[in-house]
Amino acid sequence: MLDMTPKEVSERSALRINPAKTCQPIGAMYASLGIHRCLPHSHGSQGCCSYHRSHLTRHYKEPVVASTSSFTEGAAVFGGGPNLRQSLNNIFQVYNPDVVAVHTTCLSETIGDDIPSVVRKAREDGIIPDGKFVIHANTPSYVGSNVTGFSNMVKAMIDYLSSREFGSSKDVNVIPGYVDPADMREIKRMLGELNVSGIVFPDTSDVLDLPMTGSYEMFPKGGTTIEQIMKTGSSGLTISLGAFASEAGGASLESKCGVPFKVLDLPVGVHATDMFVKSILEITGEIRPPASMIDDRGRVMDLMTDMQGYLYGKKVALYGDPDQVIAMTDFLVSMGMRPVYVITGTPGKRFEDRVNRILGNDSSNCLVKASADLFYLHQLIKNGPVDLIIGNTYGKYIARAEDIPFVRYGFPILDRVGHGFFPTFGYRGAMRILTSIINTLLDRVDRDAPEERFELVM
């Protein structure tokens, strides 16, 4: 399908082909689903909302519920304020959520709708019932990416809901970043294992990984409650996992409520997980993590050591959302693998700086680029082949065209299952990623082995 991709690389300043990202509202909608009894609301056309819902549904294989202002030509000319007002009236009368999280789209941003004023007037007129909340984030698709939208909605949660009047200074806030429900669940499990009282927000576990019960619940049991988000303003520390998705939330909470924050890479792989565990131990005053966690770490190290012959020196092309790519780059380097192309579709020079710091002396042998696309990545691979590609589903076309082993990682994964149920975070997540990489490489060894080298035991 990509046979016509040319090897010659040309500079493109205003054109993206197969972008390595998606748009802001998808990230904002996903973050909103991490609030208990929240209905995400897309302030724009029905088509925008349908696309965002379907993209999330295809990744998580779960129904994603959201409402829309349903813009028509009239709204595009005269503004969408009346549509939002009518939408809020219908939402609270029919669905009765505890909170509506409004995110904008390209059209409403271009019009310049004043969301706070519309919401304020709706509350004054009794359209928004007492005890209910409406929050909003500006998320135009022509700026940033899905990660930016997630970050903006997390900041909106804090700006609207966090307070100093509730909670305890013994609590630790964790903003988990744009990751799957299984990773949010793993963070909560690790906090419990470390004996820490934590507030993880947003939290899509038990929202987009629900068991089949035979009955439909519009508002699942999961998600961070409004009360918990309010309490974040009194916590002793906020840990923001992933600078692109979570730092703005930590900074906003510090500015509003005085809660200090620390930015860490996503705890993917041994080193990044060590840094997360160390940060928690500094809070608790403990010297060592529990024995069960040390054992998990030891298993990862054992697997890396056992299979080093298949990992060392392998050249890797890596792409996706910046926080996930940064963490994966660190993990690959720690295993002795060689990232040679590392790209993200999200703009930001700090991505390139962070990846180059991880690579250290090897940075000169790796091309690192933000605001790039998969067409560009394919051209790079044509000029310098790699042993492995790691990224979301859209890389399968490059992998097939160039006959390169492919490991799916990140968002979205549309053609496989399990990513919503099994974590990539922590030592247990590292084992999952590591086995996926090793088994993919071993599959290729088996496929290409001559008859006399087709071994039963690797």
Tens-place pLDDT, residues 115-172:
999 999 999 999 999 999 999 999 998 999 999 999 999 999 999 999 988 877 889 9
With cut-offs at 50, 70 and 90, classify the pLDDT of residue 392. very high
Single-letter amino acid code for the residue at 164 = R
Write out the two tokens for 371: 């605001």
Give the separation between CA 131 and CA 118, rounded to whole angstroms: 18
Give the separation between CA 342 and CA 344, rounded to whole angstroms: 7
Determine if residue 195 is left, alpha or beta; phi over 0 gives left, psi from -120 to 50 gives alpha, anything else beta.
left
Structural domains of the chain, ranges and CATH numbers in brackets: 24-161 (3.40.50.1980), 172-292 (3.40.50.1980), 307-453 (3.40.50.1980)
Q: What share of the chain is helix, strand, coil (3-state, %, to 5)?
A: 50, 15, 40
- The percentage of the chain sitting over the pLDDT mark of 90, rounded to a whole number, equals 83
Give the separation between CA 280 and CA 12, rounded to whole angstroms: 44
Cβ neighbors of 291 (< 8 A, separation 6 or more) are none
Asked if 181 contacts 207 with a C-beta cutoff of 8 angstroms, the reply is: yes
Query: Which tops the pLDDT comparison, 396 or 5?
Result: 396
pLDDT of the residue at 151: 97
Q: State mean pLDDT over 385-403.
A: 97
pLDDT of the residue at 1: 64
Asked if 219 contacts 226 with a C-beta cutoff of 8 angstroms, the reply is: no
The overall average pLDDT reported for the chain is 94
Asked if 183 contacts 423 with a C-beta cutoff of 8 angstroms, the reply is: yes
Q: Which residue has the tokens 């744009």?
A: 178
